[in-house]
Amino acid sequence: MMAKLAQSMADKLGFGDLLWQIATSDGVLLLVAGLIVIAALVGHFPVLSKLSALQQYVIPAKLAVYAVIFLFAFLLGFRTADDRAEAKALRADVARKAEVIAAKDFDLRLAIEATEVAQKQRDEAALRAKEAQDEIDDYAQRLQARPNASCLLAPSDFPGGLPDDGKR
């Protein structure tokens, strides 16, 4: 199971990245911090440094404190730099996606405006068609109201009047 997990992570991250992920993980940083505390207690805490069982470890512990502090600072700095690089990449990804969303929003607004214009034009065309139908219906009623069926048209039926052809 553990080998499968390590192989999966190695496939995704690459072996070098996997090692850095492990080296800068919370568990490793906690372990290094624990080593700092233990080495500091053995090397610098007077009560523990005077114990005969620990006396042979006092000088190496004093040196180890500084080495482990350096290691801790290095790993923490690497992790911080890695987190900052990842955050920068995520910000760039978010900005790129925000631009795509803005472009899609602009396209959507254009489509909505075009729909509104088309709706308005359709309503205006329907109104003109109704007005034309009303004129036709009105004209049909006037024709039916005339007593003489042989003379269906009158000069008032022509908006510009009758043309003067000189034959009157």
Q: Residue 30 belongs to what domain range?
A: 11-143
Torsion region of 148: left, alpha or beta (phi above 0 gives left; psi -120 to 50 gives alpha): beta
Q: Within a domain: residue 156?
A: no
**pLDDT per residue as tens, the chain (168 positions):** 667 666 666 566 666 677 777 877 888 889 888 988 888 888 777 776 677 777 787 788 888 888 889 988 888 888 888 889 999 999 999 999 999 999 999 999 999 999 999 999 999 999 999 999 998 888 888 777 766 656 666 666 666 655 555 554
Please state the pTM of the whole predicted model.
Answer: 0.49
Burial class of residue 101 (count of CB atoms within 10 Å of its CB; 0-12, 13-18, 19+): exposed
Q: Within a domain: residue 82?
A: yes
Q: Within a domain: residue 31?
A: yes
Residue 40 has a CB neighbour count (10 Å cut-off) of: 18
Q: Within a domain: residue 168?
A: no
User: Domain tally for the chain?
Assistant: 1
Q: Within a domain: residue 107?
A: yes
Q: Whole-angstrom Cα distance, residue 155 to residue 168?
A: 13
